[in-house]
Amino acid sequence: MKRNNLYFLAACGILIAVMLFIRGLAASKVPLVRPLEDLPSQFDHYSGHETLSAERTYDRGSADTWIFRTYTGGNMENPIHVFVGYWGRQDDDKRIKSPRYVREGWGYYWTRAKKVAHMQGNEIQLMEFLNEKGSQKELVYYCYFADGVIFNSEYELRLRNMLSALLKRQTNAAVMRVAVPVTGDQPLENVERHTEQFIEKFIPLVHGHLPEGRIDGKTAG
């Protein structure tokens, strides 16, 4: 057997052993700093109310705690649908799913990472995409929170979960999804601008409720 093949098999064996070891660890459940329910319904020029629609609520059955609200205001005619979910401990049965794949019959044709907010002097990138179902359209932004870092990549989420489970025996993380209907009488650029203004003000409030950590503005595409 060639030496390269031996190296490959050894690397695969080590990776499998590490994965089995991580799966065997009993991760501790990490509590929130403050309950998500305490996120303000009224702030700046925005006013929100709780929404219980099963169709629009993203992944509420898996999260340990979550809110789903519809905000209005801020010179925005269209409602802003916000989901924030927190997992104090993830496992095979309770794990964050990508916000891109949540509603049957909907699909997206483009997606991109976009600098949307700033915190503590750092730029924060969220993932943006246009969701469509027939004539219906909605603009969606989402990001993840883990180890005090805000990022937009599912691959980074998996990597952070693996490293955190191995080093700290913790797999806690959160996700935020913001969706706004796009109607024919309002240009997409206007919806983007007003939605990003909302996110700029809302994302620090969310971060303040999560377990403490650094903000380094790191993202991965």
Q: Is residue 177 within 8 Å of residue 83, measured between CB atoms? A: yes
Q: What are 82-138's pLDDT values in tens digits?
A: 999 999 988 877 888 888 876 677 788 788 999 888 777 788 999 999 988 888 899
Cα-flanking dihedrals φ and ψ of residue 147, to 5°? 55, 30
Q: Indicate whether 19 pLDDT > 90.
A: no
Could you list the residue range(s) of the whole structural domain that residue 144 is in? 29-207
Tell me if 51 sits within 8 A of 67, measured CB to CB: no
For residue 8, is it within any domain? Answer: no
Q: Is residue 123 part of a domain?
A: yes
What's the sign of the alpha-carbon dihedral 201, 203, 206, 208? Answer: negative
Domain presence at residue 218: no
Is 24 within the bounds of a domain?
Answer: no
pTM: 0.81
Number of domains in the chain: 1
For residue 217, being part of any structural domain is answered with no
Q: First CA to last CA across the chain, in angstroms?
A: 38
